[in-house]
Amino acid sequence: MKNTIAIVGRPNVGKSTLFNRLVGHRKAIMDNQSGVTRDRHYGYGEWIGKHFTVIDTGGYVHGSDDVFEEGIRRQVKLAIDEADVVLFMVDVDAGMHGLDEEFANVLRRYQGKKPIYLVGNKADTNARAHAAGEFYALGVGDGDIFTISSQSGSGTGDLLDAVVSHFEDPWEEVTETELPKIAVVGRPNVGKSSLVNLLLGEERTIVTDIAGTTRDAIKTRYNAFGNEFILIDTAGLRRKTKVKEDIEFYSVLRSIRAMEESDVCIVMLDATRGVEAQDVNIIALADKNRKGIVILVNKWDLVEDKETNTTKKIEEQIYEKIAPIAYPPIIFTSVLTKQRVHKAIETAITVYENKTKKIPTSQLNEVMLRVIEEHQPPSTKGKMVRIKYVTQLPTHNPVFAFFCNLPQYVSESYTRYLENRLRENFDFGGVPIGIIFRKK
Ligand code: GDP
Ligand code: GDP
């Protein structure tokens, strides 16, 4: 599944405003992490049940010490390489700008390769929307222009309808059983390549090499010690680039790519550095994309003075930083000394099993109706919610539908109560679970 949108355009047309609108609803997770929101250039959004990642390339390419033309070329290349749909934004209030034409010149070279939409922003009024006509001359996109106001949100619904038509629905029904797809992700230098090399090099049991392109993650069939899965990694994909911040940025985008294609992500952290904002970002994205997650605290060999409760303390710190995400198992590894590497793999497989298992409806109701009996949904606005039965939907990820009389009156805290009881009674370790209420 690849659902990535990139927004390109000259400075000040409103790219970050649109970006924030598209990913706005995940503020709750992001904002309590200082530094996370400030310099994030990608985020997660949803529209009519479709999930996507948005990249704001403008927040990233500043022109800095590049000549400006080079900056534009890089920004467009990045969008074309990394995204599945490109939004080219212009400012209909300001009118045509020389830089818009320069962007268009570069973008036109990629016409037909990826869907490119021309977006006329700041069309706050009808008059302004009509003024957008002059941008047709740019010759970018399918000949149409979407006039929107990122500030008020008007027009963005039509734009998103068009954009998400290119995307798959991650909740589609399961059609086939395949091998688990496990991605190794994380920031640069946490030990991803070392882990992949250890797994693939030492065991020498690569059965097939499913070809990867230069921009995609590499997929390798792994088969050892009774474990069989597709390993998705980005380890070898280091960009030749002179620009320092490119390395981190590309590496995180690679991780997102690998993550999107996986069932379970092994998110690696560096034990000597603790959890950093970027790590939290990756984990939050994996959660939002409903991937299974295993966290490895790697380079454990470098941690000195390990006491009996050191791991406990570190676990607490990690869970605190990634709250409210509480389900990923944490494993302390050293790829260098091969400590707990197999445990990590086995855990990832278990997470996959948890993610794909189906609880029989009778068993589910037996347990959950008792749980509901013990603690009924509190009445809101004088309304009594009565849950009649529950069933697990035939989706890729565990989603439970609770059928009741007044689905709209179930509170957030009661939803959490149900989730916690589900997790206590059925093992969903490492797996995000969805809970929805439907009218009976
Ligand atoms: P970027 O440099 O392309 O990321 O642009 P920003 O998102 O930072 O926006 C530049 C300026 O345009 C800011 O002052 C925004 O508040 C303003 N802006 C963005 N979208 C709109 C819009 O739809 N209407 C109006 N009137 N102003 C907007
Ligand atoms: P990547 O950028 O995430 O692929 O990280 P690499 O696998 O290239 O590792 C970065 C550096 O950390 C290399 O010098 C590795 O040898 C080292 N490294 C990786 N895993 C461990 C570990 O468990 N312990 C120690 N001490 N070093 C490690």
Expressed in angstroms and rounded, the spacing between residue 273 Cα and the centre of ligand 2 is: 13
pLDDT digits (tens, 9 = 90+) for 23-37: 874 443 333 333 333
3-class secondary-structure state, position 143: coil
Ligand sitting nearest the alpha carbon of 196 = 2
Whether 12 is in the pocket of ligand 1, judged by its Cβ within 6 Å, is yes
CA distance 201 to 195: 10
pLDDT digits (tens, 9 = 90+) for 118-173: 999 999 988 888 888 899 999 898 778 999 999 999 999 999 999 999 887 654 44
Angle between helices 68-82 and 98-108 (to 10 degrees): 40
Looking only at the bridges linking them, the beta strands covering 387-392 and 116-121 are unpaired
Q: What residue segments make up the domains of the chain, in order of their start?
A: 4-166, 181-356, 361-439
What was the pLDDT predicted at 57?
A: 74
CA distance 148 to 301: 53
Expressed in angstroms and rounded, the spacing between residue 191 Cα and the centre of ligand 2 is: 4
Structure tokens belonging to residue 63: 């022109």
> Domain 181-356 has what CATH class?
alpha beta
Paired residues of 54 in beta bridges: 5, 43
CATH architecture classification, 361-439: 2-Layer Sandwich (3.30)
What's the number of CA atoms in the CB half-sphere (13 Å) around residue 124?
6
The pLDDT of 388-398, averaged and rounded, is: 91
Average pLDDT over all residues of the chain: 82
What was the pLDDT predicted at 246?
A: 60
**Chain centroid to CA 203: how far?**
31
Whether 93 is in the pocket of ligand 2, judged by its Cβ within 6 Å, is no
pLDDT digits (tens, 9 = 90+) for 34-92: 333 334 467 778 888 787 888 877 645 444 444 467 778 877 887 888 788 999 999 99
Distances (CA, A) of 180 to 12, 136, 261: 44, 46, 11
The pLDDT of 372-378, averaged and rounded, is: 92
Say which amino acid occupies 403: F
pLDDT digits (tens, 9 = 90+) for 297-323: 999 999 988 887 889 999 999 999 999
Expressed in angstroms and rounded, the spacing between residue 32 Cα and the centre of ligand 1 is: 25
Please give the CATH number for the structural domain made up of 4-166: 3.40.50.300
Atom 17 (ligand 2): residue with closest C-alpha?
191
Whether 235 is in the pocket of ligand 2, judged by its Cβ within 6 Å, is yes
pLDDT band at 223 (very low <50, low <70, confident <90, very high): confident
ipTM metric: 0.65
Domain pair 4-166 / 181-356, same fold? yes
Please list, in sequence order, all residues whose beta carbon lies within 8 angstroms of the beta carbon of residue 118, skipping any fewer than 6 positions away. 88, 90, 135, 138, 140, 141, 144, 145, 146
Say which amino acid occupies 17: T
pLDDT band at 214 (very low <50, low <70, confident <90, very high): very low
Q: Which amino acids are annotated as binding site for GTP, given as ranges?
A: 9-16, 56-60, 121-124, 186-193, 233-237, 298-301
Winning range, highest mean pLDDT, from 136-140, 201-205, 246-250, 363-367: 363-367
What was the pLDDT predicted at 244?
A: 56
Q: Which amino acids are annotated as binding site, given as ranges?
A: 9-16, 56-60, 121-124, 186-193, 233-237, 298-301
What was the pLDDT predicted at 39?
A: 41
Looking only at the bridges linking them, the beta strands covering 116-121 and 85-91 are parallel
Expressed in angstroms and rounded, the spacing between residue 184 Cα and the centre of ligand 1 is: 37
